[in-house]
Structure 1
């Protein structure tokens, strides 16, 4: 599907068909999109939990009750559910791991190039963690870049999706033992195929007009 067609057709699915499952190869492709998503200085400050079984999806859904039962229903009926998590801080071990994989991929032509790359990455991380003190907000922005990629990729693959922030983050973090992993949950995305009764599937897409959202300099 052309990317513009995908953007025009995608919507937040409200009602899933629990009998329809996303094929494993499609799920694998979508998860690869997440792995390849961009982030500032390639920091990759994220981790994703994927729930496929009914038991795993129910585990995620429980974090939406009792305040957001409609989100719990979507989560239980969906084919797959992905929890988007951000790292609460970026320790040297994580940065060293990223740099080691960049080196293994052949991104450095010389030791000097690697040293320069290391200095740039450390500078940006220190800027946010030590100078601006907005490290959690900065890492969250990177995760949302990946979320946007994921939603558009799902639409391009003909898969319905719903981004969800209506859940109890503290409860889910505790259930998934995220604090011990230096992670925090930010958002959830359900994947699947809409049911016939999903009224949002036929609702007109509404966005502000171009002259209100673009200024050409």
Structure 2
């Protein structure tokens, strides 16, 4: 499937066939694409928790108690569920880890290039931490870039998906011990195959017209 076709045909799945599972090779490919998502100055301020077992999905479903019970079946019946998490701070350890990985991957021709990349990334972190005072929001925006990558990649592979902000992040953070690891849950994505009961599958896709959303200069 072309990316254009994937974008035009994908939709938010409302009900899953609990008996169908994504092949391991396919889920591994999706997670690899997720890991390679773009981020501002290659900051990669994210972590991804993946549940494929009934026990794992039940733990994530604890975040859909009470006000978000309508999302519980989408978690429990999906083949896999991914919790996209964002760092609670851009720590020195993380900045150093990213820099060392870039160096190991051969991105720097010399020490000067390494120093320039390090200084540039730190300048953006300082800008958002001290001047714009929106560091958490900036990091969350990078995680949403990863969300877009996952949704489009899933559609291209013929996998149905449901992004969900409707969950109690405090409960889920506690259940998964995320805060102690320096992360907080941001958005859930269920992955799998639609059920025959999915009413949204037969509805036409609706977007504002090109004239409304695109200005050509």
Residue of structure 1 equivalent to 2:129: 129
SS of the residue 2:67 aligns to: coil
The alpha carbon displacement at 1:129 in A equals 1.2
2-side partners of 1:173 and 1:2: how far apart?
A: 37
2: CA distance, partners of 1:115 / 1:89: 22
Question: Are residues 1:211 and 2:191 paired?
Answer: no
| TM-superposition CA deviations, 1:97-145 (whole Å, max 9, x none) | 1011101111100111111111101111111112211000000000000
TM-score (norm 1): 0.98
Question: In the alignment, which residue of structure 1 is the partner of 2:98?
Answer: 98
SS of residue matched to 2:190? strand
What is the TM-score with the length of structure 2 in the denominator? 0.98
Q: Which residue of 1 aligns with 2:145?
A: 145
Q: How do 1:49-68 residues align onto structure 2 when only pairs under 5 Å count?
A: 49-68=49-68
How much has 1:23 moved relative to structure 2? 0.4
1:195 corresponds in structure 2 to 195
SS at structure 2 position matched to 1:38:
coil
**Alpha-carbon distance in structure 2 between the residues aligned to 1:206 and 1:122:** 41
Runs (4+) of structure 1 exceeding 2 A deviation are none
Cα-to-partner distance string for 1:156-207 (whole Å, 9 max, x where unaligned): 0000000000000111011111111111111000000001121111110011
Q: Which residue of 1 aligns with 2:7?
A: 7
How far apart are the structure 2 equivalents of 1:115 and 1:87?
24
The answer to whether residue 26 in structure 2 is matched with residue 26 in structure 1 is: yes
Unaligned runs of 5+ in 1: none
Where does the alignment leave 5 or more consecutive residues of structure 2 unmatched?
none
**2:48 paired residue number:** 48
Quote the Cα distance in structure 1 between the aligned partners of 2:212 and 2:104: 46
- Paired residues, what number? 217
SS in 2 for 1:67: helix
- Quote the residue 1:182 is aligned against: 182
CA distance in 1, matches of 2:117, 2:38: 16
Name the Cα RMSD after superposition.
0.7
Distance in 2, matches of 1:131 and 1:185, equals 25
> In structure 2, what is the Cα distance between the partners aligned to 1:120 and 1:101?
16
Structure 2 partner of 1:161:
161
- Matched with 1:71 is 71
